[in-house]
Amino acid sequence: MVYENPDGIRIGLEIHIQLNKLKTKMFCGCSTDYHNAAPNTHTCPVCLGLPGALPVLNKKVVEAAIKVGLALEGEIAEETQFHRKNYFYPDLPKGYQITQYDFPIVSNGKIVIEGEDGEHTVGITRAHMEEDPGKLVHIGSIEKSKGVLIDYNRSGVPLIETVTEPDMRSPKEARRFLDKFRNILEYLDVFDGNLEGAMRVDANVSVHWGTRVEVKNISSHKGVERALLYEIMRQKNVIRRGGKISQETRHFDEGRGVTLSMRTKEEAEDYRYFREPDLMPMRITDWIPAVKETLPELPDAKRSRFIEQYGITDMHAKSLTSKIMLADFYEGVCAKGVDPKIAATWTADVFLGELNYRDLAISSYDGEKIGFIHGKDPRIKNSIKVSDMVELVNLFAEGKISDRAAVEVIRTMLDTAEEKTPFQIIEEKGLFKAEDDLVTKAVAETIAENEAAVQDYLGGTEKSLNFLVGQVMKKTKGTADAKTARDLIIKELKG
């Protein structure tokens, strides 16, 4: 299948990624661990831009940027340097941002995503290093704010700004690209995507191959998809009414789900770039071999290995490698000798599904247990041990519990902070699979008590059989095996 892109949609992204796994800021020794700190407590003369303060480059930032570039299969510049990007804004007290201009550290990379018509390659134009500005907090909405507060704790945190080619053809492809990119960054251990502001996106979009519009500072992947859907609809409506699309920068109001005009789009010359005189150009070719040795197994390679090594489906392998901590947890379970296919089902389908349902994000894995935290309320957190998942998988594989009971065990472990093993939960809740005699008795009672459903089934109404199975499950309090119950009912009714 070839996707024909009937609306001529072109989407390119500019993604600001905080290298928040580094301990200190880009040009000073201030800590990057500021998220739970009081405003303006992680600052110094350098990141506040006070007169006379000079930047000293954090070598780890350059190494992390090379690492990102190699993972994106990009070209690493032999020589690179910094520029000053001049503009006045309250979050940038010195009046310029130290960034890169004509010699970015990475160029011509790529990421392969699942596109509208199968695998689709998105080109990476460039990735460059720059410092994060401070954070503005508007009192009320950005349209009707009565005042603005400024927090400089974020000022000077190292960023990698990645610019893609306009290769994405739908909001869904844009979201898939962001998911894949975040996945790669977390594998590289330079980035924690769970922290506020860790990944911020500017989305450029045009329809009918026309003028592009930039939607600025979107903080979530879902928000990017929603903003693009709205913006595409808005542009198509303007054209339908005979209007013209203006090249401009727009803000996405997440609460209302609309984009709002902010200003006309600036061009590079508006920023009056010039070389940063306090930082020398760098030759970094000699750094590359050592950094290359630190590259981990990346998501696509791990996915292929999982399929080959554990014999699991591509769908399960994709889910399990979507988070490096989940992949490590699964391998920790498999290392205990369980059936890898059953472990994949219970980890990728049920465990991950229950986490998503509860808005819980995986936050840690220490080799013994996997931790998770609520997406909006960090006070809600819990963990599950490798040994617990091993016990659950083995009990299921041995036929001692039904799939319904196994789901109940996982839900109990997620919803309570009590450290009980699956065996203890099953015993307390009476979830061990019912004996054959009990199931046979329940089937007989069900047939006797539901004459109408029986006649409907015998008359060809297949869904009546599901009703009868449900009655058996109810009588056995969910401990019967549903397939066994179904087979017994059919045998009793049809011989």
% of the chain at pLDDT higher than 70:
97
Which range has the top average pLDDT, 1-5, 306-310, 358-362? Answer: 306-310
**What is the model's pLDDT at position 145?**
74
Does residue 320 sit within a domain? yes
Q: Single out the residue of 11, 58, 7 nearest to residue 32, CA to CA.
A: 58
C-alpha to C-alpha distance for 64 and 176, rounded to whole angstroms = 23
Q: Which of 261-265, 378-382, 384-388, 488-492 has the highest average model confidence (pLDDT)?
A: 384-388
In this predicted model, what pLDDT tens digit does every residue of 406-433 receive, in sequence order?
999 999 999 887 788 999 998 888 878 7
Which of 290, 305, 321 is the endpoint of a domain? 290
Asked whether residue 123 is domain-assigned, the answer is yes
My answer on whether 153 and 35 are in the same domain is yes
Is the pLDDT assigned to residue 141 strictly greater than 70? no
Residue 93 is predicted with a pLDDT of 87
Instruction: Give yes or no: residues 112 and 216 share one domain.
Output: yes
303 and 276 in a common domain: no
Q: pLDDT value at position 69? A: 97
1 located within any domain = no
Q: Is 144 a member of any domain?
A: yes
**Residues 115, 237 within the same domain:** yes
Across the chain, mean pLDDT equals 91
Regarding whether 446 and 414 lie in a shared domain, the answer is no
State mean pLDDT over 183-209.
92
Q: Under the phi-then-psi rule, with left for phi > 0, alpha for psi from -120 to 50, and beta for the rest, what region is 382?
A: beta
Q: Is residue 64 part of a domain?
A: yes
Classify residue 348 by burial, with Cβ atoms within 10 Å: 0-12, 13-18, 19+: buried
Residues 465 and 406 in one domain: no
175: enclosing H helix or E strand: helix 171-188
Task: Report the percentage of the chain scoring pLDDT > 90.
Answer: 64
Residue 265: what pLDDT? 60
In a domain, 479, yes or no: yes
**Over 80: is that where the pLDDT of 1 sits?**
no
Same domain membership, residue 197 and residue 65: yes
Q: Which domain holds residue 47?
A: 10-290
pLDDT (0 to 100) of residue 266: 65
DSSP string, 325-355: HHHHHHHHHHTTT--HHHHHIIIIIIIHHHH
pLDDT tens track for 201-245: 999 999 998 899 999 989 899 999 999 999 999 999 999 999 899
- Look at residue 218 and give its three-state secondary structure: strand
The verdict on residue 4 lying in a domain is no
User: What are 304's two structure tokens?
Assistant: 């292929």
> 142: pLDDT confidence band, cut at 50, 70 and 90?
low
pLDDT at position 479 = 78
Whole-number pLDDT of residue 264: 67
Provide the 3-class DSSP secondary structure of residue 446.
helix
Whether residues 114 and 258 fall in one domain: yes
Do residues 134 and 83 both lie within one domain?
yes
One domain, residues 450 and 420: no
Running DSSP on this structure, what letter comes out for residue 194?
Answer: T
Q: Which of 395, 429, 463 is the last residue of a domain?
A: 429
| Identity of residue 279 | L
Number of structural domains the chain divides into: 3
Question: 213 near 202, Cβ under 8 Å?
Answer: no
Same domain (yes/no): 218, 357: no
What does each C-alpha distance from 53 to 152, 296, 318 come to in angstroms?
16, 37, 48
Rounded to a whole number, what is the largest CA-CA distance in the chain? 93
Checking if the pLDDT of 284 tops 70, the result is yes
pLDDT digits (tens, 9 = 90+) for 314-373: 999 999 999 999 999 999 999 999 999 999 999 999 999 999 999 998 989 999 999 988
- pLDDT score of 268: 67
Rounded mean pLDDT, 292-307:
96
Q: Which residues contact 464 (CB under 8 A, 6 or more apart)?
A: 453, 454, 456, 457
Average pLDDT, integer, range 140-151: 79
Confidence of residue 166 (pLDDT cuts 50, 70, 90): very high
- How many angstroms separate the CA atoms of 122 and 173, rounded? 10
CB 154 within 8 A of CB 132: yes
> Per-residue pLDDT for 188 more than 90?
yes
**For range 383-402, the mean pLDDT:** 92
CA distance 397 to 147: 61
Q: Do 218 and 199 fall within a single domain?
A: yes
H/E run at residue 125: strand 118-131
**Final residue in a domain of this structure, among 396, 429, 462:** 429
Q: How many CA atoms lie within 13 A of 177 on its CB side?
A: 32
Determine if residue 83 is left, alpha or beta; phi over 0 gives left, psi from -120 to 50 gives alpha, anything else beta.
beta
- CATH number for the domain spanning 473: value is 1.10.10.410
pLDDT value for 491: 83
Segment 85-105, tens digit of pLDDT: 998 888 888 999 999 999 999
pLDDT at position 376: 75
Instruction: Give the alpha-carbon dihedral of 22, 28, 29, 34, to 10 degrees.
Output: -60
Can you give the pLDDT at residue 143? 66
pLDDT, tens digit (0-9, with 9 covering 90-100), for 447-483: 888 888 888 888 888 888 889 988 888 888 777 878 8
Query: Is position 272 within any domain?
Result: yes
